[in-house]
Amino acid sequence: MKKKIEEKKWADILAEISTNVTEVSYRTWFAPLFPLEIDEDAAVIYVASSNDFLIEVLKNRYISVFERAVETVYGKKYKIIIKNKTEEEIERAIKGNEIKEAPIKKEHEEEFREEYFLNPRYNFDNFIVGNNNNYAHAVALAVAESPAEVYNPLFIHGGSGLGKTHLMHAIGHYILEHNPSKKVLYVSSEMFTSELIKALQDGKNKNAKMRAFNNKYRNVDVLLIDDIQFIEGKDATQTEFFHTFNTLYDFKKQIVISSDRHPSKLTDLDERLRSRFQWNIVADIQPPDFETRVAILRNKTEQEKVEIDDDVLEVIDLIAEKVKFNIRELESALTRIISYSKIFNEKITVKFARKNLNDIFSTSDFNITCESIKKEVCKKYNIKISDMESAKRKREFSYPRQIAMYLCRELTDSSLPKIGESFGGRDHTTVLHAYEKISNEIKVNSVLADEIKQLKTDIQ
């Protein structure tokens, strides 16, 4: 049977959660939740929010924290169901059940709320600094440490997927963590535009709506406005943003702007804005170099709690070699391979990665054949292909042969019988035996392991 969640219990749950997450996370994700009902027999707790994004983040990132808190308070495990309800439905639920709002007041509520949320994954701690972004990182951190005191406005530009949004959220988190009373507002320029249009369109309530709009944007301590290039060519938005900018600037509030281009390249933008954007620091982010790409992938691998062995390191190098210009794609290749390995319950190896990431490995990469492997191995051990394919059993031939068989299994999709065939018509059990022998030997013989690694690179 369902009954309402006791107020005291709900307060205990929230208190428990608040000791386990940062204050910002607590205020952002948990405080706005509404407790609905509890079904003790079915062990289910129902809570509600009217915000899709919040629900998604809770489900993806925080459900275990939530469950643990409930378990602590009720002394048994409950399943948590977060319902999506409109504000009115929640109102009604509150009235009907006399459920009180969460004890902590929501900020930036009502009129516009969603985009206040900062993605908890984007912070300074997990932002990898390399030659490509060290300047942008340094000035962003300086701004986070002393908002409106050092660099105002801060303008960050760079290509898609290079970490602009990440840095902006990091600034927001940092400021809120060190000074929770500051009002931080993150918004994309598209959202800014669409809210403005909504306000302007509302015939009857236009004035009230515009007041709310202005209040929202002009009463913040820090405005983080992302992807400003979208206001190019939109005159009304530019005018409105011009006033917002001036108000904030005059009142010594921090403004951080991002764009896919240098301000001077925003040709379809009001000159007054273009020059304001360059009043202080303009920092760019370049594509990361190889070392930085590897560092980003390793960091991500650790975050995903994947054990980093030699195979994984090899896969990381391989992905870092292939994806050069977009960190979002770089990460997505890695996360895909991690989740495939979980789904298929297979180890992450170069072979597995090549098979499953065929979009990033061009067809030429698939041209690894038993023939090319044999050629490379013969070259290395200085024997003839005919000897490798022959029945000769001397170690100087059999050893390279086994290595080549091992590599065929690792690097191609050929079946065991097929591989056997290309080694002078050998049986598939011979191939399997060779594969296992070399696999085992690699584990104890580091010289061989290095040789194989080198061979793989040469072949690829």
Tell whether the torsion through CA atoms of 389, 395, 396 and 401 is positive or negative. positive
* Residue 127's binding partner out of Mg ion, ligand ADP, none, with CB under 5 to 8 Å set by partner kind: ligand ADP
Does the footprint of Mg ion cover residue 189 (CB under 5 A)? no
* Residue 276's binding partner out of ligand ADP, Mg ion, none, with CB under 5 to 8 Å set by partner kind: none
Terminal Cα-to-Cα distance of the chain (whole angstroms)? 63
| Torsion, Cα of 440, 444, 448, 453 (10° steps) | 80
Question: Of residues 257-286, which lie at the interface with ligand ADP (CB under 6 A)?
Answer: none
SS3 398: helix
* Residue 439's binding partner out of ligand ADP, Mg ion, none, with CB under 5 to 8 Å set by partner kind: none
Residue showing the smallest CB distance to ligand ADP in the complex: 163
User: Candidates 153-161, 411-419, 441-449, 452-460 — which segment interacts with ligand ADP by CB under 6 A?
Assistant: 153-161
Does the footprint of ligand ADP cover residue 133 (CB under 6 A)? yes
Nearer to Mg ion, 325 or 366 (CB): 325
Tally Cβ neighbours within 10 Å of residue 108. Answer: 17
Contacts of 394 (CB under 8 A, 6+ apart): none
| Per-residue contact string for residues 292-311; x = within reach of ligand ADP by CB under 6 A | ----x---------------
Nearest distance in Å: CB 71, ligand ADP: 32
Report how far residue 171's alpha carbon sits from residue 169's, in angstroms, rounded to the nearest whole number.
5
Residue selected from 132, 165, 349, 356 as contacting Mg ion according to rule CB under 5 A: 165
Kindly write down the DSSP assignment for every residue of 325-378, as one continuous string. S-HHHHHHHHHHHHHHHHHTT----HHHHHHH-TTTS-GGGGG--HHHHHHHHH
Nearer to ligand ADP, 35 or 161 (CB): 161
User: Candidates 104-112, 118-126, 162-170, 436-444 — which segment interacts with Mg ion by CB under 5 A?
Assistant: 162-170
Tell whether the torsion through CA atoms of 336, 339, 344 and 346 is positive or negative. positive
Structure tokens at 244: 């917002």
Strand segments, DSSP code E, in 14-77 are: 34-39, 44-49
Are the C-beta atoms of 371 and 422 separated by less than 8 Å?
Answer: yes
* Residue 296's binding partner out of ligand ADP, Mg ion, none, with CB under 5 to 8 Å set by partner kind: ligand ADP
Question: Of residues 199-238, which lie at the interface with ligand ADP (CB under 6 A)?
Answer: none
The separation between CA 290 and the C-alpha centre of its own chain, rounded to angstroms, equals 19
Nearest distance in Å: CB 130, ligand ADP: 7
Report how far residue 427's alpha carbon sits from residue 418's, in angstroms, rounded to the nearest whole number.
9
Nearest distance in Å: CB 365, ligand ADP: 24
Q: How many chain residues touch ligand ADP (CB under 6 A)?
A: 17
* Residue 117's binding partner out of ligand ADP, Mg ion, none, with CB under 5 to 8 Å set by partner kind: none
Nearer to ligand ADP, 71 or 331 (CB): 331
Structure tokens at 47: 């809570």
389: amino acid identity, one letter: E
User: Candidates 16-24, 196-204, 325-333, 353-361 — which segment interacts with ligand ADP by CB under 6 A?
Assistant: 325-333
* Residue 128's binding partner out of ligand ADP, Mg ion, none, with CB under 5 to 8 Å set by partner kind: ligand ADP
User: Candidates 87-95, 126-134, 141-149, 389-397 — which segment interacts with ligand ADP by CB under 6 A?
Assistant: 126-134
Report how far residue 358's alpha carbon sits from residue 263's, in angstroms, rounded to the nearest whole number.
38
Nearest distance in Å: CB 326, Mg ion: 11
443: amino acid identity, one letter: K
Does the footprint of ligand ADP cover residue 154 (CB under 6 A)? no
Does the footprint of ligand ADP cover residue 328 (CB under 6 A)? yes
Q: Which long-range contacts (CB under 8 A, 24 or more apart) does 10-16 make?
A: 10/35, 10/99, 10/102, 11/103, 12/73, 13/69, 13/70, 13/73, 14/69, 14/102, 14/103, 14/104, 16/68, 16/69, 16/72, 16/73
Nearer to ligand ADP, 147 or 158 (CB): 158
* Residue 328's binding partner out of Mg ion, ligand ADP, none, with CB under 5 to 8 Å set by partner kind: ligand ADP
Does the footprint of ligand ADP cover residue 128 (CB under 6 A)? yes
Residue selected from 166, 209, 322, 409 as contacting ligand ADP according to rule CB under 6 A: 166
Does the footprint of ligand ADP cover residue 331 (CB under 6 A)? yes
Does the footprint of ligand ADP cover residue 172 (CB under 6 A)? no
Does the footprint of ligand ADP cover residue 162 (CB under 6 A)? yes
Structure tokens at 58: 């809770």
Instruction: Give Rg (Cα) of the chain.
Output: 29
* Residue 161's binding partner out of ligand ADP, Mg ion, none, with CB under 5 to 8 Å set by partner kind: ligand ADP
Footprint on this chain of ligand ADP (rule: CB under 6 A): 122, 126-128, 133, 158, 160-166, 296, 327-328, 331
Footprint on this chain of Mg ion (rule: CB under 5 A): 164-165
